[in-house]
Chains A and B, each alone.
Chain A
Amino acid sequence: MIEKTCDVVIIGSGAGGGTVAKELAPLVREGLKVLVLEQGARFRDDEFTGREVEMARELYEDAGGFLTADGTMTLAFGRAYGGSTVVYTGTSLIAPERVIEHWGVPELSHGDLEVRSRKYMEENHVHLLEEGLLNDNNKLFVAGCQKAGYEARQFPINVKGCRGSSLCNLGCPNLAKQGTHRVQLPEAERAGVLVVTRASALRIEDRAVVARVAEKPDGAKGLPSEWAPGDYRIRAGIVIVAGGSIGSPALLLRSGLPSPLPRLGEGFTCHPAHILVGEHTRPISNDVGHPKSFYLDRAVEEGR
């Protein structure tokens, strides 16, 4: 076991971890060591080809087919420098007040979250896509909602220079999506935060994290890890767990923490992806343009 020491360890480099890394970066100037551990790889810009099979294998846990324990559902979540912000469609909503209330986290208010969210929306170039860039599939969705008596709303998205490849979920081949891999992490690294990729957190110990750095597999995309392959014990005063809604509770459960967390592993929510197929008199395609430009919040529409 190789021993390392730092002041803050952040586990995960996605929307949570990447953002925290950037916010803590000024501490580096004060002489503190801030480290980010990311399970996935760091990819070169030219490795984002948009090709489905190869990119799914590289960017997703279990190639996007992560099986739940009972084997009845697969979950798709990213595993890369930037976490799932590399592979989502860039949709950037502020969490609704009802959700924050439901969470019931002490001292977390919706107002505070909104101020912070707006700050990141500005940093990450979140905006509504121009009408001329909307594809037929999304326009049809809006028309369908209207006909059914609902109002579809446009997603604010975090793209800059979107060419409409439709390949957001495979990591934008045009580098347009402004995830933490394009904004927060590079800024944090410029300020001296160390990001170690291919590093899986195995467990948390008392003021330490045990992590395993993997070798780059033969033929795989991405750069080798910043650290030599092997097992590490990283001693740190503060450990921040930001490994996503699957990774974080799994890590905490594995770690057997001394203080009880009665709701740990409960309350997982996700959004199931269903496919709607219709026959039309003209081709309606979703393979060009941004693929997910509108949404319908039935909870709002139906007053729930």
Chain B
Amino acid sequence: MAGSLLAPVEPLFRALAATVVPEAERLDEKGWRDLGALVEDALSDRPAGMRRQLVMLIRLLGILPLFRFGRTFGGLDAERRLRFLESIQESPLLLLRRGFWGLRTLVLLGYYGRPEARPEIGYRADPRGWEVRR
């Protein structure tokens, strides 16, 4: 992720991603790189302002738990991380809900967009269709 948009917030992004998709904890370094590349690619033609906002949101999600749990996101255990993100998802602030929804969508795209994730979820779509399934 060096030189990329997410590089400055990489550990935090990974911690957030693994809370959204717990299976991501099992990814090796290549898996994380592939996930990050899909996210970066999806962001590549988005406006610069939106890309900056995403990085700001990730940073914000890193420090917001200080007010509730007295620790940054990185210092929370898995259960508290999940509770915190659920509270963001239900936040009365539209801006936060909207931002988290976007981040969550990108994480899902990054994780499940990898070809390696297909067998994990039993996804077997094939252009040959019925020919290979009957």
Contacts and interface: CB of A to CB of B under 8 A. Distances in A.
A167 B131 CA distance: 14
Given A65-B105, A164-B130, A288 B125 contact: yes
Interface size class, chain B:
20 to 34
Interface residues of A, number: 26
A301 interface: no
A289 interface: yes
A50 interface: yes
A225 B115 CA distance: 32
28 contacts: A50-B125, A50-B126, A50-B127, A53-B41, A53-B109, A57-B41, A62-B46, A63-B42, A71-B102, A72-B98, A74-B105, A163-B127, A163-B128, A163-B129, A163-B131, A164-B129, A165-B127, A166-B125, A166-B129, A174-B127, A283-B122, A285-B122, A287-B123, A288-B126, A288-B130, A288-B133, A289-B129, A289-B130
Given A165-B126, A165-B129, A287-B123, 19 more contacts: A49-B127, A50-B125, A50-B127, A52-B113, A53-B109, A62-B46, A65-B105, A70-B94, A162-B129, A163-B131, A165-B128, A166-B125, A167-B127, A174-B127, A285-B122, A285-B124, A288-B124, A288-B125, A288-B133
Contacts of A162: 129
Contacts of B18: none
B38 interface: yes
A50 to B, nearest CB: 5
A123 to B, nearest CB: 25
A173 interface: yes
A173 B105 contact: no
A2 B128 CA distance: 46
Interface string A157-198: 000001111110000011000000000000000000000000
Contacts of B124: 285, 287-288
Interface in A54-73: 57, 62-63, 65, 70-72
A162 B127 CA distance: 10
A117 B15 CA distance: 53
B98 A288 contact: no
Interface in A248-277: none
- The 6 A-B pairs with the shortest beta carbon distances in the complex, nearest first, are A164-B129, A173-B127, A163-B129, A287-B125, A164-B130, A165-B129
Contacts of A288: 124-126, 129-130, 133
A133 to B, nearest CB: 7
A292 B46 CA distance: 31
Contacts of A49: 127
A110 to B, nearest CB: 36
Interface in A69-87: 70-72, 74
B113 A163 contact: no
